[in-house]
Amino acid sequence: MNDDLLGLREIELKEEYRSDRNDIVAEFFYPCLSNCIEYDRCVDFLSIQTLSTISMSFENFTKGKAKLRMITGHRFKTSDLNLLTKLFSEKFTKSFKGKLIKDTKIQKLQDIVNNGQIELKVAIPNSEQVADSFSERIGIFRDEDDQTVAFTGTSKESFSTQTRDFESVDVFTSWNDKSRVERKTKDFEELWANKTKYVEVYDFMYAEKNNLLKYSSEWVMQY
């Protein structure tokens, strides 16, 4: 274990976090993000703000080893989609000055993307049995000792201190609930490999280039 990182087992974790009792970000998300080397996540919406905030935690990870794999639904705010397309396009590998958020955050995010530490895929329903859009809520953290923490119950990283949702998070650990963690891990891996019924999963840039994404300047869901 790297001296700068705690093992996930060393973090005092609860089985459940709820907005009326806990600061979910401070007590759960940040400790796990800061001490894992792999983070797998499914969200229904993805914003630049969310992705850049997650990337700030990569500064605490083992350099070059941290990895984020994210699967999101196919709806984006227009401004976020434009910037995500630039960040993940091979045409934009030089220094990029952000116009929408602070340049330092954009540059840090671009550095991580260019280093291959962030992979982004999009899940799109392909069946009438699934209404509207993908909205599964899974998250999985892993540390250097292959200990794993999985969670369900929140649709997004509500990092804003002013506009957080009321929400709850159920937490499962590989040392206390191995079978549940293995099931959540299998669910994510099958999604990532596009082996899940009712949805098609594409690399983000493939989906963007083939006009598979929906976008608007005024989605109801704000991040």
List the domain boundaries for the chain.
8-216
Q: What are phi and psi of 126, to 5 degrees?
A: -125, 20
Proportion of the chain above pLDDT 90, given as a percent? 46
pLDDT band, residue 221 (cuts 50/70/90)? very low
Chain segment 1-40, per-residue pLDDT in tens:
566 778 999 999 999 998 888 888 889 998 998 899 999 9
Mean pLDDT of the chain: 83
Picking from 159, 178, 158, the residue whose alpha carbon sits closest to that of residue 9 is: 178
Pick the CATH number of 8-216 from 1.20.1280.290, 3.90.1150.10, 3.40.220.10, 3.30.870.10: 3.30.870.10
CA angle 142, 146, 150 (to 5 degrees): 40
Q: How far apart are CA 112 and CA 119, in angstroms?
A: 10
CA separation, residue 138 to residues 72, 91, 128, 177 (Å): 11, 32, 23, 16
Q: How far apart are CA 59 and CA 76, in angstroms?
A: 27
Chain segment 86-131, per-residue pLDDT in tens:
899 865 555 555 554 456 777 778 888 888 889 999 999 887 666 6
pLDDT > 60? residue 156: no
